[in-house]
Structure 1
Amino acid sequence: MATLKVGLVSPEREVWSGEAKMVVAQTIEGSLGILPGHAPVLGVLLDGSVVKIEPADGGAPVLAAVGSGFFSVAANEVSVLAEQVERAEEIDVDEAKRALDEALTAEGEDATPERRARARLRAAGVEA
């Protein structure tokens, strides 16, 4: 079975790397589902979205909330390079709910804090 070599990284650390069956990411142009053999792609990640990786070994999907960054696919290699990355199991749900409440009550037109808080909750499996 063909697989993808995947790297999910932030400036601070490599968050996940390994072989995967599929990667799903949200770019500013829409959602992309990547399978082995996919054509080359370079996209800008939607700030405040969730990346899903299905490991080739059949393990549990890797879910991560991501901030701004880039997504590239070439020769069965997928790189997700994001300024902020937080895996589902690292997310403090209570803190993410507080951040969402603060973003919803804040004055201003910047929707980034709200999108990021909602992405963190979605990655953690909580509907927001």
Structure 2
Amino acid sequence: MNTFLLEIVTPEHLVYSKQVNSLTVRGVNGELGILPGHIPLVTPLQVAPLSVKADGVTVSIAVHGGFVEVHKDKVTVLAESAELPKDIDVERAEAAKERAERRLKLQSKQDEIDHRRAELALQRAVTRIKVSTGKGQQ
């Protein structure tokens, strides 16, 4: 068997559920490639596109934090939010990116909480743009 079940779940709904050939995610320690038969593991995810290969087609999905849980024949991505390319509003993502970049330029490092929020907003916007334009594939 050269596939495994991939489910991408957010608190609101099931975003993706399909038998896939491979998955590439960006964990906190770097990129992680998952193939059928991968050893079980759980690791936190960065805000970054993940890449899914199924039926010879590679799709990127915008994932905004969460965890990946790998079992023998099933992988679950528990994400704070996740978006398929068709669900992303590129203009809105571009506007969010510009807002975050402006906030980062204007802020002093003393306001660490706002700075971190702006950095995360920028990461989410860039991830959405990459996925929606097809540039999120590794």
- Per the normalisation by structure 2, the TM-score is 0.84
Residue correspondence of structure 1 range 1-128 to structure 2 within 5 A? 1-46=1-46, 48-55=47-54, 57-58=55-56, 60-106=57-103, 107=107, 108-110=114-116, 111-125=119-133
Runs of at least 5 residues in structure 1 that lack an aligned partner in the other structure: none
Residues in 1 aligned to 2:133 and 2:45: alpha-carbon distance in whole angstroms: 20
Relative to its length, the structure with more helix (as a share) is 2
* Residues 126, 19 of structure 1: alpha-carbon distance in 2 compared, 3 angstrom cutoff: closer
CA contact (8 A) 2:64 2:82 kept: yes
Letter in 1 for 2:30: G
Runs of at least 5 residues in structure 2 that lack an aligned partner in the other structure: 108-113
The 3-state SS of whatever aligns with 2:49 is strand
Residues in 2 aligned to 1:63 and 1:114: alpha-carbon distance in whole angstroms: 18
Letter in 2 for 1:24: T
Give the structure with higher Rg (CA).
2
Residues in 2 aligned to 1:25 and 1:63: alpha-carbon distance in whole angstroms: 10
How big is each residue's C-alpha offset from its partner over 1:9-51, in whole Å with a ceiling of 9 and x where there is no partner? 11111011010000111111111111111111210010x2111
The alignment yields a C-alpha RMSD, in angstroms, of 1.4
% of aligned pairs identical? Answer: 32
Letter in 2 for 1:12: E
Q: How far apart are 1:126 and its partner, in Å?
A: 6.2
